[in-house]
Structure 1
Amino acid sequence: MIIMKRRNFLAAALSTPFLARAGFAEEVGLTLPDELKTPENARNNISSFRTIDWRDHFEALGKGAIVADTVSRALHFWSPEGDYKLYPTSVPISTDLTRRGYTSVINKVKNPTWTPTPSMRERDPSLPVTVPAGPANPLGVRALYLSWQYYRIHGTHDTRKIGRRSSDGCIGLYNEQIVDLYDRVAVGTQVKLI
């Protein structure tokens, strides 16, 4: 019989493919709810925890590489040396606001100000012209500006947004995690949104 603390079980369960997790849960004497055992729910339960290979998206690492997966709501980062980090994200609310393809980091800003885009102000004229750095700023404490106008990878003060479709086009991370990513990313890092 395998004895495992709940915390260790959760760490192992979240890092393994869904169907393997179901078997592992039974092996250690835990029962998953029926709705989590069905194959149609498997993709929703594991997608954010899968790793991908940078070689499937880029020819070389160069200054580093980022793949933001809008389906699994995860950002994958590789340093120039190949070190890998995975971060949960928020993603655009709709496919109309989602841009996919290749871009790059062109600027890094600590404590950014936020200016709503013209289309945001068209949809909601009550938006302020600019929001200074601080707790009301939707860009959080750091922002990576992409070569696509108005698109950012940034933090958020609203932690409820992470793991959800909640942005107007940007990729959002917890503030603590955008600080970590910001410190690792160089201007010129290649980015792909899928």
Structure 2
Amino acid sequence: MRRFAPALAGLACAVVAWAAPAAAYEIDPLTRQPLTQALTVTVRPSGSAASPDAMDATVPKISPIPRETVAYNGPYGPGTIVVSTTERRLYYVLGSGQALRYGIGVGRPGFTWNGVQSITMKREWPDWRPPSQMIRRRPDLPRYMKGGPENPLGARAMYLGGTLYRIHGSNEPETIGTAVSSGCIRMTNDDVIDLYSRAKVGAKVIVQR
């Protein structure tokens, strides 16, 4: 497996994983010998070949850090997203003293940030185009990757202000709860689909260290 690990401060958000196709064999039930060799190819879904709903059906409904409803007595109103990079948790404020808490991956040392932004755009199964700064540092990276299960932005992306930071899904759920990104907030695909369905364009996002 070949892996690309974007490492641009404040811009790169995820790791791209490429998987080599696996070979499958049809076995004669009597002789137990291979009859034919068939190449099993994983086709990356495209807009014409698979709808977002069809791709959503492939998302595992399990997270290394299960989301849960928790008590919340902070100062922010319903619909606000509060990110605690220290806890590596994201809170979606429900109101009435409650919030939904999700596990997240955050920026590695030297790539953390804090501040107030808002969601300016939302995308389902977004395409990925590494910024020019990243390409200069990592010329081996693909210049474009269509949205789909192999895409490092995952199932959903919510873009924060005029920055290149995003809250997005991930094709590496094992990184949730760790500090490995270059500034973006990553979630499991299942969790980011859930948050995406709740958060509105214009919602306030508070990022705390």
- TM-score normalised by the chain length of structure 2: 0.61
Partner of 1:36: none
State the partner residue of 2:92.
77
Corresponding residue of 1:189: 203
Gaps of 5+ in 2: 1-69
Q: Report the 3-state secondary structure (helix = DSSP H, G, I; strand = E; otherwise coil) of the residue aligned with 1:104.
A: strand
Higher helix proportion (structure 1 or 2): 1
Match of 2:169 in 1: 155
Distance apart, 1:79 and its partner CA: 3.5
Select the structure that is richer in strand. 2
Higher RCO (CA < 8 A, seq sep 6+): 2
Amino acid at match of 2:121: N
Equivalent residues in 2 for 1:1-194, closer than 5 Å: 53-55=73-75, 58=76, 61=77, 64-79=79-94, 83-95=98-110, 97-194=111-208
Q: 1: distance between equivalents of 2:108 and 2:71?
A: 24
Q: 8 Å contact 1:79–1:184 — kept in the other structure?
A: no
CA deviations 1:48-96 (Å, max 9, x no partner) are xx865330xx4xx26x11111111110011146765100000001222x
Give RMSD over aligned pairs.
2.2
In structure 2, the CA distance between the partners of 1:120 and 1:93, relative to structure 1 (3 Å rule), is farther
TM-score, L = length of structure 1? 0.66
Work out whether residues 72 and 93 of structure 2, in 8 Å CA contact, stay in contact via their aligned partners in 1.
no
Structure 1: gaps spanning 5 or more residues: 1-49
Q: Tell me, what secondary structure is at the counterpart of 1:156? A: coil
Secondary structure in 1 matching 2:122: strand
CA distance in 2, matches of 1:123, 1:52: 42
Which stretches of structure 1, 4 residues or longer, exceed 6 Å deviation after superposition?
A: none
Contact preservation (8 Å) 1:79, 1:185: no
How far apart are 1:191 and its partner, in Å?
A: 0.4
Contact 2:72 2:99 survives alignment (8 Å): no
CA distance in 1, matches of 2:91, 2:132: 30
SS at match of 2:167: strand
Tell me the matched-pair count.
140
Q: Aligned with 2:90: secondary structure?
A: strand
Identity %: 36
